[in-house]
Amino acid sequence: MRSKLILPMCLCLALSACAVVEHDPTPTPPPSLPTAQPTPEPALRPSPEWGEQVYMTAFAPEGRLDEPVFIPDYRLPLIQNAQGIPSYEAINAYYAAALDDLAVSAAEVGGWAIDDYLTTQATGDPFFDYVDTETYELTMESQTRVSVLRSHYSNSGGPYPVLYPLSDTFDLTTGARLGFADLFSCSAQEAKERVLDAVLSLNAQGTYSKTVLDETMLKNAFSEENFYLTEDAFTVYFPNADLPQAIGTPTFAVPYTDLEDILLSWE
């Protein structure tokens, strides 16, 4: 698939007035201090209730409006009980922006699909409908973290479709999207070396499809941001476009026990 991918501050000066009063020789007892009131416990944050925010439309040439040549369909996470919870609202806003970007890209691809259809009609060549979809799954959810794996499937009318993984990990207490370095107590470089060493060890054991991929190729293609969390493992993936000689999407699940001395804990 072809793709695109102040407030002025006002300073207010408060002036306080002083009044002169006559001295009263009668001693005045000091005012009694108010009784301290207990601080109320903060309301418990409910667990997210997950749903979808969806963008789907159809593109069709004139004269074939009932037979679209391209129906993009994108389904991204939506926390349905986010109202009044800033962290949840931030996560929803993140995916709403992603959905807007996908819609803009889909409009461009839809134009290409219609042009291709008209061309094939003129030349007599076969035309295959364009496909572009994105779905998601939660791979890990705790009280403070959630990890999301998105799957983007695309076929621009050719014989070779593309399935591309995307991933996001969020702090549910703040709504911040967490990068690789945010999950470790050591430097990003040390964490990268540790994770890559673990991936190379798993590869040498043939844990992906019982095949051993070229080590140099894996090192060159490794990106510390291509990860997601599961209940048991820090999982690293290599999109097939990054490893053209590999079949599918090579994935390596590094057990948390192998990284427990540098991996920040969460509940």
Residue 71 vs residue 37, higher pLDDT: 71
Residues 137 and 173 both lie in one domain: yes
Residues 51 and 173 both lie in one domain: yes
Q: Is the pLDDT of residue 26 over 90?
A: no
Residues 143 and 205 both lie in one domain: no
Q: Is the pLDDT of residue 222 over 80?
A: yes
Residue 35 lies in a domain: no
Listed range (139-143, 204-208, 237-241) with the worst mean pLDDT: 237-241
Does residue 239 contact residue 150 with C-beta atoms inside 8 Å? no
The structural domain count of the chain equals: 2
Listed range (2-16, 37-51, 93-107) with the worst mean pLDDT: 2-16
Report pLDDT for 138: 98
207-229 per-residue burial string, b: 16 or more CB within 10 A, e: under 16: bbeeeebeeebbeebbebebbbb
Does residue 228 contact residue 241 with C-beta atoms inside 8 Å? no
Report pLDDT for 20: 34
Domain interval for residue 211 = 180-267
Q: Is the pLDDT of residue 98 over 80?
A: yes
Residue 14 vs residue 81, higher pLDDT: 81
Report pLDDT for 43: 52
Residue 19 vs residue 65, higher pLDDT: 65
Mean pLDDT over all residues of the chain?
A: 85
Report pLDDT for 32: 45
Q: Is the pLDDT of residue 24 over 70?
A: no
CATH number of the domain at 78, please.
3.30.565.40
Report pLDDT for 240: 77
pLDDT band at 33 (very low <50, low <70, confident <90, very high): very low
Residues 205 and 147 both lie in one domain: no
Last residue in a domain, options 178, 198, 213:
178
Residues 64 and 174 both lie in one domain: yes
Residue 66 vs residue 226, higher pLDDT: 226
